[in-house]
Structures are given as structure tokens and as C-alpha cells.
Amino acid sequence: MSPLPPRLILLAPMEGVLDHDLRDVLTRVGGIDRCVSEFIRITDQLLPRRVFTRLMPELHHGSRTPAGTPVRAQLLGSDPQCLADNAARLAELGPEGIDLNFGCPAKVVNRHRGGAVLLDEPELVHRIVAAVRRAVPARVPVSAKMRLGHLDDTRMLDNARAIAEAGASELVVHARTKLHGYKPPAYWERIAHIRQAVALPVVANGEVWNVADAERCLQESGCDALMLGRGLVGDPGLALALRGLAQPGWRELLPLVRLYGRLITPRVAPRHRGGRIKQWLNMLRRRHAGAAEAYAAVRELNDAEAIEGRLAQLEQRVQQQAA
């Protein structure tokens, strides 16, 4: 088995799940070296600065979460010049770095020539990365995230080389194709072939839910860095566990669920707020029995205030039991 801890632990972008408020809460737990924002879609226009800061508010604070964890902004699109123009404007706002999305499997994104569908065109992938690299100052890292391919992995190495030769400083590889979606397994051994083909640092991603998964992933991929997504959202102490540090229990996590509910209040409509809280609780059930109890207690509730009240009662009970 590969030795732990990994050299680098990244928090993955997860569209519709891992927004900046959840990044805030998860980085308070600790163990995360860097985050990547949800993708910022670039189509055919130069976005105003306010769009970047709305989607990634950490730009107002030195590209850091309140806990001090760096956040890299991710762009998604297919027009090299438009991406370059927007990257240049984004660079003026001081991001920790700029990441390029060649991995999103969503059908609506792929239909508009974004995400994993671009892996059918390694030449275009190269032009995108090269254009963005030229457009931003040398001090701003440009990285990329890719899957093994679109419908298959026959162009896997072509895409990895295209990204490396275009000047990217780091490559995250989700060890599945778009066609695989999120179905297990992840093909970590395929990442080893990519590592042998390119000189830039490669980060392994996909299907890491616990320490044992991480050990196997690092061994099979040959990587010394990991990007964690659903595994870390469902187990916020996972990064700490990979570092051999104590993990928070449900007693410590339940107040963070309530904090997340308060953080999203100013920007999420009341009718959707309860759904976001339940979404995270549902993912936490995989690791924490207390989360399963909390989810059952609020599952039938739709009013955010009612959910907050029920969680407050549960927190009080948990704290009393621990006293």
C-alpha cells in the first residue's frame, strides 16, 4: 500500500452540491489543502467581474475560505479565445489559480460542447489550455481536470499530453469516462498510464470514500495527491483521517449542518433552503448514524425554519447525552 498521508488533498467541485457555503463549512473541519469552485460557464461573452465574485465570493477575501483554505476558480467552455478573455479578467481579481473543466458528464453541459465531450477533440483541449495559459500572468497557475474520456478512453493519453504540452501546471484525473458517470468502480490503474505519459503533477480522483480506498487509489494510480468529492462531503473528517488525525463525531458535525443552513439563508430562496440542508444530511448518512436519525426527523419537513428547529432539538439532545 502507498504510504499516507497524501502530499496534497483537494476538495472537488460538485455542481449543485458543493457551493461556497459548503466549502466554508468543510474547510473549517480541516485537512484540505485547496478547493476548486463550481464551474463558471463561459459561452460567447466576457462576463462582468460581479459574476465571478457572485459565483466565487472567496475572491473578495484573497481567494480563501474563512478558514484560510485557497480556492481555485474553474472555467467551463469550448471557445479558446472567449475562455482566454474571461480568464484574463478573472486573473485581475486575484484567484489562487484557474482550473479548466474537461470532466463534467452532465448531458446539458455536453450538448453545449462543455465538459467531458471535449475529450473527443484533443486538439481543441490543447488550444483551450494554451490560450488561457497565454492570457493570464505567469504567477497564476493554470490547471485542468479531465475524465478518462468521453465514451471510451482511447484518447486518454492524447488529452493528457495536450493539456501538459499546452502549459498546465497540474492535472486532476477522474478515473472514469463520461459514459461511466459515477458508477463504481473507478479505474485508478488507468491514471498510472497518464502519469507515465506526462511530466506535470497528476492528482487522482474518483470513488475514494475511506482510508482504505485512498490507500488503494494511491497505490494503483501511483499518485501522491488526491481530490475528494462525494467521499468528503459524506464524511467531512476524511481528509483528517488521511493525515492520521482525529475525526469529528456527529456531536461536532451537527452544529456545522445548522451553520450551513444559516449561511445559505441570504441567497437561497426559502422553498429551496430545506432541500439543500436535507441533501447534505442525506449524504452524511453514509458515514454517521446520527445523520440518518436527523435526516429521518426532517425528511417530511419543507419549511427551512421548521427543519432548523428540529435540528436544534436534536443538537441539544446530543450535547446532553455527551455531558
pLDDT value, residue 322: 81
What residue numbers bound the domain in which 220 lies? 8-242
Q: 171 with 302, same domain?
A: no
Q: 226 with 270, same domain?
A: no
pLDDT value, residue 225: 98
Q: 259 with 293, same domain?
A: yes
Q: Which residues of the chain fall short of a pLDDT of 70?
A: 1-2
CATH number of the domain residue 113 falls in: 3.20.20.70
Q: Measure the CA–CA gap between 99 and 268, rounded to whole angstroms.
A: 26
Q: Residue 281 to residues 21, 47, 114, 258, 273: CA-CA distances in angstroms?
A: 15, 34, 30, 11, 13
Q: 231 with 115, same domain?
A: yes
Q: 285 with 159, same domain?
A: no
pLDDT value, residue 111: 79
pLDDT value, residue 50: 97
Residue 2 forms part of a structural domain: no
| Catalytic residue ranges | 104
Q: 303 with 182, same domain?
A: no
Residue 116 forms part of a structural domain: yes
Q: Where are the alpha helices (DSSP H) in 146-269?
A: 156-165, 188-197, 211-221, 230-234, 238-242, 250-264
Q: How remote is the C-alpha of 66 from its chain's centroid?
A: 17
Q: Measure the CA–CA gap between 44 and 182, rounded to whole angstroms.
A: 30
Residue 154 forms part of a structural domain: yes
pLDDT value, residue 171: 98
Q: How many domains is the chain built from?
A: 2
Query: Which residue, 242, 273, 291, sits at the end of a domain?
Result: 242
What does pTM read for this prediction? 0.96
pLDDT value, residue 179: 95
pLDDT value, residue 1: 57
Q: Measure the CA–CA gap between 200 and 196, rounded to whole angstroms.
A: 10
pLDDT value, residue 2: 63
Q: Measure the CA–CA gap between 77 and 56, rounded to whole angstroms.
A: 17
Q: 290 with 166, same domain?
A: no
pLDDT value, residue 11: 98
